[in-house]
C-alpha cells in the first residue's frame, strides 16, 4: 500500500487531525482489502459501497471539526482550506456515483492507491500543517 500506514502519515500539531487521518488510512486499507477480494471473486462487490460511504462520512465529519477549529481560531486562510475540503468531498461523491453506475474496480483501485493518498499527504503537509501551527499558537 502507499504511505497510508499508521507510521507513514505526516503528523501535525493537533491530535484530532492526526487521529482522523489514521482512521482514514484504516478505512482506505479496508477498502483496498475489499478491492482485492472483488478481484478474486466479483460476488464481493456489494461490500464496497458501504465502505465508500463510510469514508465519505468520515471525511465530512473530519472537515466539519477542522473547519470549526479554524473558525474559532480565526484562521486567515479558512476560505481556501474549506474550498479544498469541498473539492475532495465532491471527488468522493463522484467516485461513489461512478462505482454505482459502472462498478469499475480499476478506477476505484487507482483512486484508493494513488489519487487519495497523494491528496491526503499533500493536504496534510501543506494546509493542515499550517492550520495546526496557527491554531496551537493561539
Q: Is the pLDDT of residue 112 over 80?
A: yes
Q: How many residues does the chain have?
A: 138
What domains lie within the chain, and their CATH numbers?
A: 15-136 (1.20.120.50)
At which residue does the C-alpha cell 476560505 appear?
A: 79
pLDDT band at 70 (very low <50, low <70, confident <90, very high): very high
Q: How far apart are alpha carbons 5 and 24 in whole angstroms?
A: 10
Q: Is the pLDDT of residue 75 over 70?
A: yes
Mean pLDDT value across residues 105-132 = 96
Amino acid at each position: 500500500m502507499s504511505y497510508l500506514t499508521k507510521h507513514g502519515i505526516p503528523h501535525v500539531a493537533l491530535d484530532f487531525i492526526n487521529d482522523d487521518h489514521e482512521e482514514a488510512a484504516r478505512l482506505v486499507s479496508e477498502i483496498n482489502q475489499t478491492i482485492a477480494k472483488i478481484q478474486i471473486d466479483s460476488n464481493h462487490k456489494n461490500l464496497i459501497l458501504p465502505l465508500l460511504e463510510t469514508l465519505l462520512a468520515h471525511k465530512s465529519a473530519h472537515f466539519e471539526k477542522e473547519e470549526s477549529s479554524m473558525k474559532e481560531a480565526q484562521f486567515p486562510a479558512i476560505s481556501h482550506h474549506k474550498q479544498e475540503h469541498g473539492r475532495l468531498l465532491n471527488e468522493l461523491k463522484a467516485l461513489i456515483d461512478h462505482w454505482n453506475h459502472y462498478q469499475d474496480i480499476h478506477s476505484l483501485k487507482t483512486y484508493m492507491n494513488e489519487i487519495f493518498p497523494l491528496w491526503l499527504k499533500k493536504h496534510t503537509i501543506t494546509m493542515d500543517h499550517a492550520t495546526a501551527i496557527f491554531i496551537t499558537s493561539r
